[in-house]
Structure 1
Amino acid sequence: MSTIKKSGRPSINNNKRGKLIIAAKKLFVIYDYDKVSIRAIATEAGVDSALIRYYFQSKLGLFTAMVQQTAEPVVAQFDKQLNALSPDSAHELMTTYYQVMSQNPDFPKLIFKIASMQENEHSQVLKKILSDVLNPKNVKLFSLMKQQGLLQDHVDPLCMQISFFSMMVFPFLMPEFFKQVLQLDITPEFMTHLALQNQQLLQHGCIKPATTETKDIS
């Protein structure tokens, strides 16, 4: 029995949607946003360019979906930690970030690239997307920890926030030359190990030891 295809709409294939997001991440890291065409993304993904409009309505829609999908686990962990702060909040957030970004090592480069763009029509739109997804409240982690007495008295929360972001982001922005010199391979296994190392730095230098009130006694 023959199958009759409906005209006017491409068949749904979630794998093709995923391929478009992967292709978009790759090309937007290499080229400026306005230099990346719908056709180029589709060619990189190996799919029909009509699928971009079908799944995402436009190139901007694809870019937005790419950022949201990649950042979602990290944003969710931010929200979780902000709603229930503990001495382990920073470590748990860093671990999640490392796990996600070790699977998407070019994504921090893309965020850095967009955040550094000169102001123009495209940059304003792209930065607004980043701001909406990453949410400015998420930079308040250490200020809130300070207010709740979770940081050592000498720790400045703003400086701690900068140090924390540096530890989170630099491994993924590190020039290839440095990686070669250090013989460093950014794998999920190594990033888990690095998160544990950084946990020790945070616990011994910045975060107050857990008291009997904050310890889990279950």
Structure 2
Amino acid sequence: MKQVNKVGRPSENRDNRAKLIRSARELFVEQDYDKVSLREIAKKAQVDSALIRYYFQSKLGLFMAMLKETAAPVTEQLSKANQNIDEKSSELLMMTYYRVMSENPDFPKLMFKIASTPISDKNIDFQHILDQIFRPKHINLFASMQQQGLLKDGVDPLCAQISFFSMMIFPFLIPDRIKNTIGIKITPEFMLKLGQQNAQLLQFGCLNTPKNNTIESDK
């Protein structure tokens, strides 16, 4: 096995680590966790396989880092949304999610697969990862919005939360055959357009914004 140099140029170290994260994400989306080997990841990343143990200690360590780092922009926006809740919170979260996932359109399928797997001794680590990424206090956004008086009268916060999650997640779970039939391509440009339209659906359907109050008072 080649000797791994722990001292190198910072930019080269970052590049190698980023290549491993990117290659791991692609392979773990395509195949089950058990079927992906360290050698396969290193080959796809075009780096020495010993670097995986250097940066991540193990395949599980790489898998955990890949999930956390890919989801990081979304979880950061979730945290911000809960710290400073206003009528733009849901829109900003949705747009952040669409932006990140349009660059990794198969990643939500991986997250959905992990979340749908019954908990066992074999996959308990995966469930812990999801718990760390999506903490309950971070995803109860609409309950917090209701407490702030930001939801219209009659809007159930739990139902609004489910509608919101459906808008966020479903576009990335649509089977390829259906996407091809109706002419959908998950690109950053399309997701930006979809995000803007879904934000309007939320605004006029659920949110008690000043703009909506003006419209209703004019009727």
Tell me the TM-score normalized by structure 2. 0.89
Residue aligned with 1:121, SS: coil
Which amino acid in structure 1 is aligned with residue 21 of structure 2?
A: I
Residue aligned with 1:122, SS: coil
- Of residues 158-167 and 116-125 in structure 1, the stretch that sits farther from structure 2 once superposed is 116-125
Aligned 1:110-129 pairs, distance under 5 A: 110-129=110-129
Aligned pair count reads 205
Q: Aligned partners of 1:70, 1:116: CA distance in 2, in Å? A: 19
| Residues 1:46 and 2:42 are matched in the alignment | no
Deviation at 1:146, TM superposition (A): 0.7
- Of residues 31-40 and 173-182 in structure 1, the stretch that sits farther from structure 2 once superposed is 31-40
Deviation at 1:31, TM superposition (A): 1.7
Deviation at 1:8, TM superposition (A): 5.1
Q: Over residues 23-74 of structure 1, what are the superposed CA-to-partner deviations in whole Å (9 max), with x where a residue is unaligned? A: 1111111222122221121122221110100111111111111111111111
Answer whether contact 2:4 2:51 (CA < 8 A) is retained: no
Q: Aligned partners of 1:22, 1:8: CA distance in 2, in Å? A: 20
Q: Over residues 77-117 of structure 1, what are the superposed CA-to-partner deviations in whole Å (9 max), with x where a residue is unaligned? A: 11111111111111111001100111111110110011111
Answer whether contact 1:9 1:54 (CA < 8 A) is retained: no
Answer whether contact 1:25 1:106 (CA < 8 A) is retained: no
Query: Which residue does 1:148 correspond to in 2?
Result: 148
| Residues 1:207 and 2:194 are matched in the alignment | no
Query: Which residue does 1:19 correspond to in 2?
Result: 19
Query: Which residue does 1:215 correspond to in 2?
Result: none
Answer whether contact 2:20 2:41 (CA < 8 A) is retained: yes
Answer whether contact 1:85 1:145 (CA < 8 A) is retained: yes
| Residues 1:9 and 2:24 are matched in the alignment | no
Answer whether contact 1:115 1:127 (CA < 8 A) is retained: yes
Q: Over residues 125-179 of structure 1, what are the superposed CA-to-partner deviations in whole Å (9 max), with x where a residue is unaligned? A: 1010111122221221000001111001111111111110010011111100111
Tell me the TM-score normalized by structure 1. 0.89
Query: Which residue does 1:84 correspond to in 2?
Result: 84
Residue aligned with 2:210, SS: coil
- Give the unaligned 5+ runs of structure 1: 1-6, 212-218
Which amino acid in structure 2 is aligned with residue 193 of structure 1?
A: K
Q: Aligned partners of 1:40, 1:117: CA distance in 2, in Å? A: 24
Answer whether contact 1:34 1:122 (CA < 8 A) is retained: no
Which amino acid in structure 2 is aligned with residue 47 of structure 1?
A: V
Answer whether contact 1:99 1:192 (CA < 8 A) is retained: yes
Query: Which residue does 2:185 correspond to in 1?
Result: 185
Aligned 1:83-102 pairs, distance under 5 A: 83-102=83-102
In the TM superposition, structure 1's runs of 4+ consecutive aligned residues that sit over 2 Å from their partners are 7-13, 118-122
Q: Aligned partners of 1:40, 1:8: CA distance in 2, in Å? A: 18
Instruction: Compute the RMSD of aligned alpha carbons.
Output: 1.4
Query: Which residue does 1:70 correspond to in 2?
Result: 70
